[in-house]
Amino acid sequence: MSSAEPTPFSTHQIDLAALLETYGSPLYAYDGATIRRKAGELKQAFDGIDLKIKYACKANTNLAILRLMREIGVELDVVSPGELEMGMIAGYNASQITFTPSGVPFEEVRSAVDAGAIVNVDSIPLLEWFGQTYGNTKPCLIRIKPNVAAGGNAKIMTAHADSKFGISVLMLDEVLEVVKKYDIKIVGLHQHTGSDIKDAEPFLKVADILFEAAKRFPDLEIIDLGGGFKVSYLPGDHVTDMELLGKNISERFNTFCNEYGRKLQLWFEPGKFLVSESGFLLVKTTVVKEDPARNFVHVDSGLNHLIRPMMYGSYHHILNISNPGGPLKTYNVVGYICETDTFATDRELPEVRQGDVLAFLNAGAYGFTMSSNYNARLRPAEVLVDNGNARLVRRRETLEDLLKTQMDI
Ligand code: LLP
């Protein structure tokens, strides 16, 4: 099946009901086989290219997931000292880790570089500091803002002219001036356009912009085109056609390398593409409320566990795994937080009864990592199913976890 076709939502192989029974509710469950398959699809699409996949681990930093990535030859993209530490605890060598900061204190960059990671420099002041601090002794990449608007919604577009990220492609003269002043060793150009990008066209456009910019830097080894591939949240959704994208970008990349006179490495740093479909948030129905206006299904979770629907209006498909064949009814699925934490509005689901288990799909990316303790609620446990084996990879939080940083207990 081509990756542009809608995802068949019924193909997950793991027994979600049994997991909830064993590990309790609510629960994040991940399927390792899906992550392996997705990484394989990406490698396959760029077959013949010197490709490096740098997993954007902000999507999911569970150490078991990081270890799985390492095992399958996927390297890491991190955005903070905490993510860098986690990568190293998971067994990565710092040289396999790229630090892609966004206006962070320069001391964070120093600690990443001194640990052995390579940095994507995202501003002229940081480039100045980098030059003063390291001269030509440490390599770095430059994060270019190509001034291209693309992505699923305004909050997750990162490369348009008004975006805070990176150094505008219109400022290459200034970049080159600083590079020359300190003899900085620029080994790569980087850009990340945004998230949820379906069409090949924005990827091709930014690639061309980067290739053009690259001609002004004589010693490059790397072109890093970021992440942002669209995955299927909605049954019938069309997603980035990896096969087609791979073919088109590879062609242009090879032409560029010929013109440049050297074979370069091509890097991508996907988050969602690798882990979104692998994850499920499993919850239990607490109350079914038949109101004159709506039928409400309350669940033992909320925006504290999965904030994407409330933050971006994102669609997450929901399965009623306790009553899959029930008659269809229309519901608002809501959380237990004292906010309007609506997961889904006017959603048709097989009849939901109190105590039924619901599964939110595509919860592997930006689910747990964006969770919080709002309302003094505890975060769920996490389970990884891999090689036919289910394993608790994070225990459920306790009240003690919540209290341990407070001074006045
Ligand atoms: N590289 C950089 C520099 C990034 O900022 C990001 C995501 C990625 C790679 C990975 O993008 P992905 O392949 O996952 O689309 N929380 C939002 C998505 C924000 C992504 C932020 N940066 C969401 O849940 O939709």
Would the annotation count 228 as a binding residue?
yes
Indicate if 244 and 330 belong to the same structural domain: no
Indicate if 115 and 101 belong to the same structural domain: yes
- Measured in angstroms, how far is the CA atom of residue 185 from the centroid of ligand 1? 27
Ligand 1 contact via 230 beta carbon (within 6 Å) = no
pLDDT band at 393 (very low <50, low <70, confident <90, very high): very high
pLDDT band at 12 (very low <50, low <70, confident <90, very high): low
Q: Taking Cα atoms as reference points, which of 266, 272, 280 lies closest to residue 43? A: 266
Is 257 tagged catalytic? no
8-state DSSP, 392:
E
pLDDT band at 6 (very low <50, low <70, confident <90, very high): very low
Indicate if 344 and 375 belong to the same structural domain: yes
3-state SS assignment for residue 373: coil
Q: Chain-wide mean pLDDT for the chain?
A: 95
Total structural domains within the chain: 2
Contact 203, 245 (CB under 8 A): yes
Ligand 1 contact via 226 beta carbon (within 6 Å) = yes
Residues 6+ apart with CB under 8 A from 106: 126, 129, 133
The closest-lying atom of ligand 1 relative to the alpha carbon of residue 274 is 13
* 143 token code pair: 């994060």
> Does residue 342 carry a pLDDT above 50?
yes
Contact 56, 295 (CB under 8 A): no
- Measured in angstroms, how far is the CA atom of residue 273 from the centroid of ligand 1? 10
Would the annotation count 366 as a binding residue?
yes
Percent of the chain at pLDDT exceeding 70: 97
What gap in Å lies between CA 254 and CA 246, rounded to an integer?
12
Give DSSP secondary structure letters for 26-54.
Answer: SEEEEEHHHHHHHHHHHHHHTTTS-EEEE
Indicate if 60 and 110 belong to the same structural domain: yes
Q: Which has more pLDDT, 235 or 280? A: 280
The closest-lying atom of ligand 1 relative to the alpha carbon of residue 270 is 13
What gap in Å lies between CA 391 and CA 19, rounded to an integer?
10
Among 270, 287, 315, which residue terminates a domain?
270
Q: What is the CATH number of the domain that holds 315?
A: 2.40.37.10
Would the annotation count 87 as a binding residue?
no
Indicate if 246 and 299 belong to the same structural domain: no
Ligand 1 atom 14: residue of nearest CA? 271
What gap in Å lies between CA 90 and CA 61, rounded to an integer?
10
Would the annotation count 55 as a binding residue?
no
Indicate if 245 and 286 belong to the same structural domain: no
Ligand 1 contact via 42 beta carbon (within 6 Å) = no
What gap in Å lies between CA 267 and CA 214, rounded to an integer?
14
Give DSSP secondary structure letters for 151-204.
Answer: SSSGGGB-SSTT-SSSEEGGGHHHHHHHHHHHT-EEEEEE---BSSB--HHHHH
Tell me the pLDDT tens digit for each residue of 80-92: 999 999 999 999 9
* 57 token code pair: 């681990």
Indicate if 201 and 292 belong to the same structural domain: no
In a domain, 79, yes or no: yes
pLDDT band at 234 (very low <50, low <70, confident <90, very high): confident
CA atoms in the 13 A half-sphere facing the CB of 367:
29
Indicate if 253 and 215 belong to the same structural domain: yes
Indicate if 74 and 214 belong to the same structural domain: yes
Q: What angle do CA 32, 73, 192 make, to 5 degrees?
A: 90
Ligand 1 contact via 366 beta carbon (within 6 Å) = yes
Among 270, 295, 315, which residue terminates a domain?
270
Indicate if 129 and 202 belong to the same structural domain: yes
Helices 32-45, 242-260: axis angle to 10 degrees equals: 40
Choice from 195, 268, 307, 362 to test ligand 1 binding pocket (greatest atom count within 8 A of CB) = 195
Range of the structural domain that residue 160 is part of? 46-270
pLDDT band at 239 (very low <50, low <70, confident <90, very high): confident
Q: Which of 57, 140, 257, 338 is catalytic?
A: 338
Indicate if 182 and 301 belong to the same structural domain: no
- Measured in angstroms, how far is the CA atom of residue 246 from the centroid of ligand 1? 20
> Does residue 118 carry a pLDDT above 80?
yes
Give DSSP secondary structure letters for 198-253.
Answer: --HHHHHHHHHHHHHHHTT-TT--EEE----B----STT-----HHHHHHHHHHHH
Contact 266, 53 (CB under 8 A): no
In a domain, 23, yes or no: no
Ligand 1 contact via 233 beta carbon (within 6 Å) = no
Q: What burial class does residue 367 get, using C-beta atoms within 10 Å of its C-beta: 0-12 exposed, 13-18 middle, 19+ buried?
A: buried
> Does residue 3 carry a pLDDT above 70?
no
Among 239, 270, 301, which residue terminates a domain?
270
Ligand 1 atom 5: residue of nearest CA? 192
Strand partners, 394: 382
Helices 124-134, 172-182: axis angle to 10 degrees equals: 10
Contact 53, 42 (CB under 8 A): yes
Choice from 35, 53, 58 to test ligand 1 binding pocket (greatest atom count within 8 A of CB) = 58
Ligand 1 contact via 272 beta carbon (within 6 Å) = yes
